[in-house]
Amino acid sequence: MTSADHEYWDEPDAHGQLNDYLEKIINSIATPVLVKDKLHRWVLLNDACCAFIGRTREELRGKTDHDFFPKKQADVFWDMDNHVLVTKEEHVNEEELTDTNGVVHSLLTKKNLYVDPSGEPFIVVVITDITDRKRYEAALNESHRQLRILSAHTEAMVEKERTRIAREVHDELGQSLTALKMDCAWLERRFREDQTDLRARTQMMSQLIDDTIITVRRIATELRPEMLDDLGLAATLEWQLQEFRKRTGIDYTTSITPKDIRVADTISTAVFRVFQETLTNIARHAKATEVDLQLCVDAAMLSMRVHDNGVGITFEERNRPTSLGLLGIRERVDFLGGHTEISGEPGRGTTVEIRIPLSHSHIGGTP
Ligand SMILES: Nc1ncnc2c1ncn2[C@@H]1O[C@H](COP(=O)(O)OP(=O)(O)OP(=O)(O)O)[C@@H](O)[C@H]1O
Ligand SMILES: [Mg+2]
């Protein structure tokens, strides 16, 4: 007769005493703990474990998972026991368990092999009920998903409104200014040669109107460049860089393939806004003298990499919760199912890289 044939749970010998002693120790643990023999029989159970299963120790001792749990679940526990018996390695698994009251729990089960002095193997099982944690996790994910949808919706509304204002500013103000300019020219022609004051004043007005027309065009274009719809993403980003160089004196290089990039509106708008924020950051923070833009599109993916040769963003700066500009970049890209990487090296500049998959199934992002 081998030691495996002993019935540990009611044996009055040294084993029984040892079990009483062990039981006292494991009873002081608030987490459910149980020990199984190699035939999967429950040898030791602490109070927390009995309470968890909802039966007395006497009812549970000597039984197996199959006596109390649905077969499908018990089969999983059984397989995991065998895995530990064979590999002799610790094993952690997430499992579902329907208790004796029919309540379904999510469990994190940690199993270890213990071999007693006579060489007999036992499986020590420590159970953590993660049902609440899972529920909170699911609620948090759902809330995150909803917030992301709300944020994208708000962004889309803002974008629509920008487009409307841009058109109105461009068309209405543009037309009125052009009419005023024609009126100025008409007035100027009506003045006599000797009315130099009046002629000079009208010319100044005309000049002011010209400047205002340029300002209006710039405001409209910054709100939402028409060229994004007409000439496409590549031309718009190049134009942004030219304007940026004029404004800041920071030079640029580009590598764009192919030149004629065609992507969905949502994607070109997102990339345009990401680039806009990246350039604003370079102007405000980088102290750079040069920017490099690499844009590459193939059938599956759009990749953009913007590198400046400035001071370099720090780890703390790129992870600060108040870094809303960077958060906006990440959020836009995430929503399109893409990926953002922001890196920096002191004195060697900052790199913002985004990759957006071009299949529509990704839109909505991952929670
Ligand atoms: N190209 C860059 N070079 C160096 N530091 C940068 C660069 N881009 C961002 N940073 C640093 O990262 C921080 C966060 O950038 P982020 O765009 O999120 O915020 P911000 O530009 O300060 O404000 P805003 O919310 O108006 O964009 C910046 O304050 C700056 O310190
Ligand atoms: Mg910023």
**Domain CATH code at residue 343:** 3.30.565.10
Q: Which residues of the chain have pLDDT under 70?
A: 1-19, 360-367
Atom of ligand 1 nearest to the CA of 286: 3
pLDDT of amino acid 262: 85
Ligand 1 lined by 240 (C-beta under 6 Å): no
Distance 314 CA to ligand 1 centre (A): 10
Residue ranges making up the domain that contains 277: 231-367
Distance 268 CA to ligand 1 centre (A): 23
pLDDT of amino acid 120: 92
Looking at the structure of the chain, the number of domains it has is: 3
Strand arrangement of the beta sheet that strand 104-115 belongs to = 42-45, 33-37, 121-129, 104-115, 91-98
Ligand 1 lined by 331 (C-beta under 6 Å): no
Task: Spell out the residues 6+ positions from residue 253 whose beta carbon is closer than 8 angstroms to its own.
Answer: 290, 291, 292, 293
Could you tell me if 260 and 367 lie in one domain? Answer: yes
Residue 192 DSSP code: -
In the listed set 74, 103, 129, which residue is the last one of a domain according to the structure? 129
> Ligand 1: which residue has its CA nearest to atom 23?
325
Distance 281 CA to ligand 1 centre (A): 5
Atom of ligand 1 nearest to the CA of 284: 21
Could you tell me if 170 and 112 lie in one domain? Answer: no
Could you tell me if 166 and 289 lie in one domain? Answer: no
Q: Which two tokens stand for residue 5?
A: 């044939």
Could you tell me if 169 and 287 lie in one domain? Answer: no
Helix (H, G, I), strand (E, B), or coil: what is residue 58? helix
Backbone φ and ψ of 234, nearest 5°: -60, -50
Could you tell me if 192 and 293 lie in one domain? Answer: no
pLDDT of amino acid 17: 63
Ligand 1 lined by 342 (C-beta under 6 Å): no
In the listed set 129, 162, 192, which residue is the last one of a domain according to the structure? 129
In the listed set 204, 224, 244, which residue is the last one of a domain according to the structure? 224
Could you tell me if 18 and 109 lie in one domain? Answer: yes
pLDDT of amino acid 7: 55
Whether 317 contacts 323, CB under 8 Å: yes
Distance separating alpha carbons of residues 146 and 153, to the nearest angstrom = 10
Could you tell me if 15 and 94 lie in one domain? Answer: yes
Peptide bond into 258 cis (omega under 30): yes
Could you tell me if 290 and 307 lie in one domain? Answer: yes
pLDDT of amino acid 321: 85
- Burial (Cβ within 10 Å: 0-12, 13-18, ≥19) of residue 55: middle
pLDDT of amino acid 23: 72
Distance 328 CA to ligand 2 centre (A): 9
pLDDT of amino acid 98: 84
Ligand 1 lined by 250 (C-beta under 6 Å): no
- Helices 324-335 and 131-168 sit at what angle, rounded to 10 degrees? 100
